[in-house]
Amino acid sequence: MASILIIDDSSYMRGKIRTILKSANHEIFEAADGMKGLQMASAGTYDLILLDIIMPGMDGVKILGAIRQLGKEPPVIIVTADIQESVYKQCIDLGAFAVIHKPPKEEELLSWVTQALARGKEQG
């Protein structure tokens, strides 16, 4: 069981992702906006972070950069509706493990989560 933080302003999307991850027996924590997500990521220790890009206040790219500046190194999977190549490249350059599109398919999400958690264990 892994500790996973979901940062997404959409309660629907958090619920969908939560349901998928709970089926794999993961412990889920949620933040409904970027600032709360950054506070939680800064204060806690998570095995994985799932991060939206387009959110009011602080977007996911800024959050990812801030998490890395804090020296936090959990794998981060971007789950977004933004399909711009420049955003994808920026996220990967900032150290995102993967970028997947909303709404995530259950098999795809669980596959990426499994891969990211395995990588996190190798590095940690």
Domain of residue 84, CATH code: 3.40.50.2300
Supply the pTM of this predicted model: 0.94
Confidence tier at 123 by pLDDT (50, 70, 90)? low
| 101-122 pLDDT tens trace | 999 999 999 999 999 999 877 7
- Give all strands of the β-sheet with 76-80 in edge-to-edge order: 27-31, 3-7, 48-51, 76-80, 98-101
Structural domain boundaries, residue 49: 3-123
Total number of domains constituting the chain: 1
Share of the chain above pLDDT 70, in %: 98
| 12-29 pLDDT tens trace | 999 999 999 999 999 999
- For residue 35, pLDDT over 90 is answered with yes
Q: Do 87 and 34 form a contact (C-beta atoms < 8 A)?
A: no
Mean pLDDT, rounded, for 96-100: 94
CA 54 to chain centre: 13
